[in-house]
A and B are shown apart, each in its own frame.
Chain A
């Protein structure tokens, strides 16, 4: 079946540091890829997405590129802020054998940014 592997956290960075959170996937089909963010006490929010190879998703200074050859979708940000402290989830959406869209999440990576 499909799976998503994320780097384990927590990741602790100083403000304005460069962020990379690694994500790799396995999928039977041609999935769409997503990064979600979860702030404390809240539900998940879609951060960015990419639907085909070499697409770059971007939002709020975050970027991730769909790399089919390496089955990766790493999240990057050039300069993190304290307000970026949250848990980040990599996910894929693929067509199941039953003909419906199935979403698979990674385990999440907690980011803590210190002033």
Chain B
């Protein structure tokens, strides 16, 4: 089974520029998550999709961040304009409800963003 795919793996941009990240979840996984992981910290949920609908975007800075999940499959996360404090690893994950009733998350390798 293929894992969660993300691209690009690395991105360096200047502040005020825009950037987009792409995620392809595991086939059949209804739930998709975008996390921001700042160096030395745990992942912070930015947005969670159930199929192609948003169920939680309470921590997404909506003035500069946007995300969509087309047809309930692939997803893109965009930052426009970027700030220095957006430098982080952006992790995508997908999950499936198991037969035991819990949700097991699978993570992609992440995109490391550096804003200069």
- Could you list which residues of chain A lie within 8 angstroms of chain B, going by C-beta atoms? 32, 36, 41-46, 49, 51, 89, 93, 96, 98, 100-103, 105-108
Contact = CB atoms under 8 A, between A and B. Distances in A.
Contacts of B33: 103
A51 B31 contact: no
A51 B103 CA distance: 10
A41 B107 CA distance: 13
B14 interface: no
A101 B107 contact: no
Interface in B88-113: 91, 93, 95, 97, 100-110
Given A43-B93, A93-B103, A100-B55, 8 more contacts: A43-B4, A43-B110, A46-B106, A49-B102, A89-B42, A98-B55, A105-B42, A107-B41
Given A43-B108, A43-B109, A100-B55, A108 B41 contact: yes
B8 interface: no
Interface centre among B42, B48, B50, B93 (most CB of A within 10 A): B42
A63 B55 CA distance: 33
B45 interface: yes
B24 to A, nearest CB: 14
A96 B48 CA distance: 12
Leading 7 A-B pairs by shortest Cβ distance: A43-B107, A105-B42, A32-B102, A44-B107, A100-B55, A101-B103, A107-B42
